Structure 1
Amino acid sequence: MPLQDKLDAFKANFQAGKPPYNVSRSVIETMQRATNELIASGAAQKALKAGDKMPAFTLDDPEGNRVSSIGLLRQGPLVVSFYRGVWCPYCNLELQALQAALPAIRKAGANLVAISPQVAANSRKSVRQNALDFPILSDMHNDVAAAFGLRFALPDYLVELYKSLKNDLPTFNGDPSWTLPMPARYVIAQDGTIVYAEVNPDYTRRPDPSDMLPVIERVADRAS
């Protein structure tokens, strides 16, 4: 089943108030309001896009190992996925879809990393919960997300809603700022040029990993 179909099915159950979420209509409306405002802000249009150069980064994996984008690009093209955290069910579905596509990504000669602002313990939970075989990296304070143009601050009313739902982002992320990255996926050629970019301020919408495979294959062929 395509990733978006899985996301749509989850969203339908969530908005219907089915267990285990049992959320009220006002919660759903508040979340949708925040999404609509982020879309209307035009923030996604300011993010890095195809043709831009990727800002180099070095981040920790869950075991404290330093992972460098420059080092990964020496091996081949790089796929970078930004996600909100292990608390986000849409993100977990996307991570599972990326894991399913991992053999094809690696066969094409590329590496894959996922980046979130969460602390290492929550990244380890992401790995366990989604049975991942690719690195999950911690972007403290969303600094790398900001360099890609993805970081945004949650509006005050959404912060209050998250608090009421015990979704304590400062604890998840070890950062008091209440910021998140817009979900995004990039394919970067070995010279650091972004050749595929998908940024969506609506976190319930994610491209299928199969969409980027032809791009990875073309870039890998040019490099060989």
Structure 2
Amino acid sequence: MSLQDKLDAFKADFEAGKPPYNVPPSVIETMHRATAELKASGAAHKALKAGDKAPAFTLNDPDGNPVSSDDLLRKGPLVVTFYRGVWCPYCNMELQALQATLPDILRAGASLVAISPQVAANSRKSARQNAVTFPILSDAHNEVAAAFGLRFTMQDYLVELYKSLKNDLPAFNGDPSWTLPMPARYVIAPDGTIVYAEVNPDYTRRPDPSEMLPAIRKAAA
């Protein structure tokens, strides 16, 4: 089953309000509205694309160790995935799919890192819950996400919904800004050029990790 098939199956149960979710239709309508508005804003079209130069970054892993994109690129291609946080079930399923594909990524000579705005403790939780062995890096204030053109500010009504659901992003992220990255995945060649880019303002849509393997192999050649 592809990653998107798994996401679609979860979404169907979640939006149908099946236990244990029991989500009222008004919540689903608000989430749909927010996604539609983010799509209509054209924000995804402003994100970095294949052919662009990737910004260099250094971020800390959950143990406080700095991880540098320049250092990783000296070893070969770099796969970077941006996700929202451990509270997002779609993101967790994506991390699991990436972990399953990790042996193919490593065999192709590439490195893989995941980036989210959450604090180190929540990155550790992400790694533990999803049995992830690649680095999960903390992007305070979504600064690196902004450099890639992915950061957006949540609508006021969506902030209120999250608060009502006890989804306290300022606490998760150590940041009061209520910003998130659009989910995105990049393959960066050793010279810093982006050779694969997938950005979607709809957080329920994620490409299968296998789709980027040809770009990784080409960049490593």
Normalized against structure 2, the TM-score is what? 1.00
Distance 1:41 1:20 in 2: 33
Q: Are residue 24 (structure 1) and residue 24 (structure 2) matched?
A: yes
Aligned to 2:39: 39
Aligned to 1:94: 94
Aligned to 1:162: 162
Counting only pairs closer than 5 Å after superposition, residues 163-182 of structure 1 correspond to structure 2 as 163-182=163-182
Aligned to 1:7: 7
Aligned to 2:218: 218
Counting only pairs closer than 5 Å after superposition, residues 104-119 of structure 1 correspond to structure 2 as 104-119=104-119
Residues 132-158 of structure 1: per-residue CA shift (max 9 Å, x gap): 010000000000000000000000000
Structure 2: stretches of 5+ with no match in the other structure: none
Q: Look up the SS of the partner of 1:134 in the other structure.
A: coil
Distance 2:63 2:17 in 1: 37
**Kindly, what percent of the aligned residue pairs are identical?**
82
What amino acid is the match of 2:197? A
Query: 1:174: Cα distance to partner?
Result: 0.1
What amino acid is the match of 2:124? R
Aligned to 1:65: 65
Distance 1:37 1:202 in 2: 10
Q: Are residue 54 (structure 1) and residue 54 (structure 2) matched?
A: yes
Counting only pairs closer than 5 Å after superposition, residues 164-203 of structure 1 correspond to structure 2 as 164-203=164-203
What amino acid is the match of 1:129? Q
Structure 1 segments (4+ residues) deviating >6 Å: none
Query: 1:83: Cα distance to partner?
Result: 0.1
Residues 161-188 of structure 1: per-residue CA shift (max 9 Å, x gap): 0000000000000000000000000000
Q: Are residue 126 (structure 1) and residue 126 (structure 2) matched?
A: yes
Distance 2:73 2:25 in 1: 46
Q: Look up the SS of the partner of 1:115 in the other structure.
A: strand
Q: Count how many residue pairs are aligned between Structure 1 and Structure 2.
A: 221
